[in-house]
Every structure is written in C-alpha cells, then in structure tokens.
C-alpha cells in the first residue's frame, strides 16, 4: 500500500520574545498509509498538537515537509478535517446549523435533500436529537464536543485529525463514539491521526501508536504496531493476547519519559569521598528474589562500609528499564541477566553496541518453567506430554513467556523445549513479559506458560494458577543467573568505586548464602521497597 501522508524529516522552531528559540520538534519522520488510524501519545508539551497542526496545514514546519497524496501541505483544506479540544463551534448557530454549515460548504455538489439527511443522521449518531435546535451556550462541554465530532464526520474527509476529541465525554458516550468512529473509518477508508493521553483508547482505535519523547527537540521515541484484527469490539480487544503488552509498553514509555525529565532537572553532581571517585550511585534492580544481594547490601550497611554511603537502589518493572537506564547513563550499575552484558556489547539494543563489563555473578539457578494449571488437569505432567498436546492442537497458538531475549530464562526454555522435540521458533510463540506480569498473564490465559525466576513460579503454584513442570536444576545445574553489570566507560572512569561496589555485593551474596540469615533475607525481600509480596512466596534456601 502506497504512502498517503508523508511527514519528511520535519523540525519546528518557535521564536521566543527574548530573541532565543525553542525547538519543539526535531527530525520527525513518519509515513501513513491510506486507511490507517494513527495515535500520537506523549506527555504535555511534547509537540503532539504541533505535529497535528502541521499535518492539518494550520502551521508549517521550519524544516522538512508534509505531503498528502504526494502534494505538499501548505494550508488547510476540506480534505483534512480537525476536531479541536475547544469545540470551535459558531455560538450563534444551533447544533443543526453548525453541522449543516460544514456539509453545505464541502458537499455542495450533493442535492439539498441528501445534505439534510447527512446532517440529521449525524445528529442522531452522537445522540443530540433533543438538542438539535439549541445553541452552544445551552449545551454541556461534552455535548459541544459531540457536535464538533459529528460535524467532522459528516463531511467524510480524506484525513481526519483529532486533538483529544473524547476527553470531555462521559464513559458511555465516549465508548459509543469510539466504535462509531472505527466503523466509519473502516467503511470509508478514512485515514485518521489522533492526539490522546488515554492508552486504552490508543490501543482500541489505532493501527499504529507513535510515542513522542519529551521536549525540547521532541522526536519519535518508538512506534507500536497494534496487531489486533479489525473489526474490533472493546471486550474482544481487552481479551486479545497483545492488549496488555501494548498497554504496558506505552505506560513504561510514559513513565520513563517522566523519569528522564526529573533526572534532567535534578542534575546531581558526582560526589567523590573516602578515596572513591563517586559515592552517589544509582543501581538498578528488578523485584525478584535474585535482587537479594543488593537489598542486603543496602539494608545491612555494606555499601556504606565500603565508602559508598549514597547508593540509591532504583526498582525497575522490567529488563527494558535496566537497558534504557544503562544506555542513557541514568544508572551507574545494575542487576542483569547473565547474557545481557554480551547482548548489549554486541549491539542487541537497536543495533548500537554498548560495551558492558561484569565483575560479579550474584546468583546461580533459581529459575523454573511453569505451565498453566489447566494442562495439569488434562494430565500433562512431563515435557513429553506437552509435546503430544502441541501436536494435537496445531490449529491453536501456544505462547510461552520469557523476561528478555538476553535472559537465561530464554535460553533455558528454548533448550528444554528443543530437548523434547519442540521447535521454540515454530511450535510455540515466545513473548517478552515483565517478571511480575507473568502470573497475571497466566491467569488471563494470554500465555500457556513461562520461564522466570522466583517468586513467580512458587506464587503461581500456591495460588493454583500454574504448576512447575521443570526447574533449571534439571536443565543446567550451576548456571549463572544474575550478574552485576556496568558500562565499560563507567568502569574506566570510576575504578575504585567499581571495586567498592563489587566488594559490598560480594559480602551481600555471602550473607544471603548463610542459612542462618534466611528468615531475615526473606523478610527484607518481601518489603515494599523490593519484591513487595507475601513473605510466604519467597524462598531463598
């Protein structure tokens, strides 16, 4: 399918009253196909509406160009209809007259009777029949927005541009209009671009979701492909296996942008003390049992013992947060899966090699493979049983969760499957899922099983949602689990701090390995700062 709208390397610069400049957008490049529904998300001030206005022709880029069907957009036109946040209704005209004005102007070649029918049909579509003869001053905010939406849809534009159109509507009306909008766009191949802050709305309506970074110099941080088939219904979308993954990707991106903004504002200088080049360290970890050495080093004062008296442990929800933190320099060091240092060094993150060194293996083993309880109830107790089941259900998609491509969980699960004659790239689909989300997805039946560290295998078994079909002790006894990872340039810049960090964590590992400390370690891990779960789910012996 050919490109319908092209945004070609555009920049937008605003001149400031003090003679300076504000670069709102930088290097935005986006191609939109005919019939696509694109959502723009990002924090306030990231340039979403600015980009929308340039596609509409209401503003022009400082550099680059925007085209519609190969023609450069230089001004507004009836082939592009915008629904603004502020309704933009003529106050002296009624609901019917506001819609009719647009219809009569754009569809002037249509017979008067048909134009009237179009107006009346769209009044009914947005539920404003009792208010058709009222002026905007007599309407609520939500009703005014419904008029604006009806007016936009009534002229059936080639390109529909929406700036948070459903934000002022009640939940029921919003849901109805979302489905009406989807139906109209699908039936008439209308291309739409929408600005929204609602991640659920973005998943429901979009074919692709464009995520913009914080300004100044905002750029496209990532683009999500929404692989949920059309036509869509709200409940079917929520039940689709991709729904929670897409939603969590957007929430993660927005939270990460918020965090970057705070870090930029803070700008804490490096603090040298005790013969160390830097004592104020940001160290990343995930809420899993394997974070025990970090938690103990913090709670038992081992960091401070070795001169690192300003260590801040940063809890991330998934391994992508660790990757982004190390890559962006927001983390000094981090707990990592044993394969991640090599993965990053070889360019696994967006094909950009980032040399990582690891000076300490903090854990070994501690992982397991869990299947949903429904398999156990069907008599599937072994790998051989699971293979037979897959052969009998080739018409179904079977999904297995892993935490990251570079994780030991991925390697262990692939080896285990292959050992049983199951091709992990053909017979099942491997999905990357944050550790803490594994049990949730298992209960929701969006995955059939997973390989993960504790406490998520034990918790699934205790809660009755899954059972452990194999442990990593059966697959690879003594394999490296989690390691301490730092950037090579960081290790070279702060060699003494690196040694002190390694010493503190080595003592933390020794403390965790002592059976006499097991109860204390479990209690610390169960606390809100770390794994944040019931102590009964945590086993460290």
Kindly state the helix (H) or strand (E) to which residue 118 belongs, with its residue range: helix 112-125
pLDDT at 541: 65
pLDDT digits (tens, 9 = 90+) for 292-348: 999 999 999 999 999 999 999 999 988 888 998 999 888 999 999 999 999 999 999
Tokens of 13: 């610069």
Note the pTM of the prediction, 2 decimals: 0.73
β-strands 159-163, 80-83: how paired? parallel
Same-fold call for 268-364+480-537 versus 367-475: yes
Domain boundaries, given as residue ranges, for the chain? 34-59+73-258, 268-364+480-537, 367-475
- Give φ, ψ of 275 to 5 degrees: 80, 10
Q: Are 66 and 8 in contact (CB under 8 A)?
A: yes
d(CA 69, CA 413): 48
d(CA 22, CA 50): 13
pLDDT at 1: 55
Tokens of 52: 């929308």
Tell which CATH classification among 3.40.190.10, 3.65.10.10, 1.20.1250.20, 3.20.20.100 matches the domain 367-475.
3.40.190.10
pLDDT digits (tens, 9 = 90+) for 383-408: 999 999 999 998 898 999 999 899 99
Q: Are 367 and 337 in contact (CB under 8 A)?
A: no
Going by C-alpha positions, the residue among 540, 537, 365, 370 that lies closest to residue 447 is 370
Which residue has tokens 């897959």? 390
pLDDT at 313: 96
Q: CATH topology for 268-364+480-537?
A: D-Maltodextrin-Binding Protein; domain 2 (3.40.190)
Q: Are 402 and 253 in contact (CB under 8 A)?
A: no
pLDDT at 267: 65
Burial profile 232-271: b = 16 or more Cβ within 10 angstroms, e = fewer: beeeebeebbbbbbbbbbbebbbebbebbeeeeeeeeeee
pLDDT tens for the chain, residues 1 to 541: 578 999 999 999 998 888 888 999 999 999 999 889 999 999 988 999 999 999 999 999 999 999 998 899 999 888 888 888 777 899 999 999 999 998 998 888 889 899 999 999 889 888 889 999 999 999 987 788 788 888 888 888 889 999 888 776 777 877 877 887 787 777 777 889 999 989 999 999 999 999 999 888 899 988 999 988 888 888 888 888 788 888 888 998 898 888 777 776 666 788 889 999 999 999 999 998 999 999 999 999 999 999 999 999 999 988 888 998 999 888 999 999 999 999 999 999 888 999 999 989 999 998 999 999 999 999 999 999 999 999 999 889 899 999 989 999 999 999 999 999 999 999 999 998 888 889 988 998 889 999 998 888 999 999 999 999 999 999 999 999 999 999 999 999 999 999 999 999 999 999 999 999 999 999 999 999 999 988 888 887 6
Q: Are 461 and 467 in contact (CB under 8 A)?
A: yes
Classify domain 34-59+73-258 by CATH architecture: 3-Layer(aba) Sandwich (3.40)
pLDDT at 308: 96
Residue 71 CA to its chain's centroid (Å): 34
DSSP notation for 361-413: E--B--EEEEEEHHHHHTT--SHHHHHHHHHHTTTS--EEEES-TTSHHHHHH
């Amino acid at each position: 399918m050919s490109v319908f709208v092209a945004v070609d390397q555009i920049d937008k610069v605003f001149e400031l009253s003090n003679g300076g400049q504000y670069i709102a957008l930088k290097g935005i490049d986006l191609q939109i196909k005919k019939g696509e529904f694109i959502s723009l998300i990002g924090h306030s001030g990231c340039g979403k509406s600015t980009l929308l206005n340039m596609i509409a022709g209401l503003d022009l880029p400082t550099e680059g160009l925007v085209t519609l069907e190969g023609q450069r957009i230089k001004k507004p036109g009836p082939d592009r209809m915008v629904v603004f946040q502020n309704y933009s209704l003529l106050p002296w005209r009624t609901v019917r007259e506001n819609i009719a004005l647009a219809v009569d102007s754009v569809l002037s070649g249509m017979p008067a009777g048909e134009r009237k029918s179009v107006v009346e049909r769209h009044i009914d579509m947005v539920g404003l029949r009792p208010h058709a003869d009222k002026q905007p001053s007599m309407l609520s905010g939500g009703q005014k927005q419904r008029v604006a939406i009806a007016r936009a849809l009534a002229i059936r534009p080639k390109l529909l541009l929406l700036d948070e159109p459903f934000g002022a509507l009640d939940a029921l009306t919003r849901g109805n209009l979302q489905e009406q909008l989807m139906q109209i766009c699908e039936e008439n191949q209308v291309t739409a671009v929408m600005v929204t802050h609602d991640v659920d709305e973005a998943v429901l309506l979009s074919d692709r979701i464009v995520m913009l970074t914080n300004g100044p110099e905002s750029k496209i941080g990532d683009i999500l492909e929404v692989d949920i088939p059309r036509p869509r219904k709200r409940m079917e979308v929520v039940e689709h296996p991709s729904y929670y993954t897409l939603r969590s990707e957007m929430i993660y991106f927005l939270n990460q942008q918020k965090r970057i903004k705070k870090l930029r504002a803070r700008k804490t200088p490096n603090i040298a003390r005790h013969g160390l080049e830097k004592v104020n360290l940001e160290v990343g970890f995930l809420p899993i049992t394997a974070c025990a050495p970090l938690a103990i080093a913090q709670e038992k004062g081992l960091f401070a013992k070795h001169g690192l008296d300003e260590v801040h442990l940063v809890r991330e929800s998934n391994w992508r947060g660790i990757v982004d933190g190390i890559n962006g320099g927001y983390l000094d060091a981090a707990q990592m899966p044993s394969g991640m240092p090599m993965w990053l060094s070889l360019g696994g993150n967006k094909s950009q090699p980032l040399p990582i060194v690891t000076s300490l293996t903090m854990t070994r083993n501690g992982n397991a493979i869990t299947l949903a309880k429904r398999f156990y109830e069907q008599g599937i107790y072994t790998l051989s049983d699971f293979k037979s089941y897959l052969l009998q259900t080739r018409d179904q998609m079977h999904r297995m969760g892993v935490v990251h491509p570079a994780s030991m969980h991925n390697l262990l699960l692939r080896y285990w499957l292959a050992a049983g004659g199951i091709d992990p790239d053909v017979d099942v689909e491997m999905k990357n899922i944050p550790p803490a989300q594994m049990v949730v997805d298992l209960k929701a039946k969006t995955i059939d099983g997973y390989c993960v560290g504790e406490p998520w295998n034990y918790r699934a078994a205790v809660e009755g949602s899954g059972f452990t079909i194999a442990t990593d002790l059966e697959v690879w006894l003594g394999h490296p689990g989690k390691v301490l990872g730092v950037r090579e340039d960081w290790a070279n810049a702060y060699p003494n701090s690196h040694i002190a960090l390694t010493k503190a964590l080595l003592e933390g590992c020794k403390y965790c390995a002592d059976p006499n400390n097991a109860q204390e370690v479990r209690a610390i891990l169960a606390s809100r700062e770390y794994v944040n779960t019931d102590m009964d789910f945590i086993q460290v012996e």
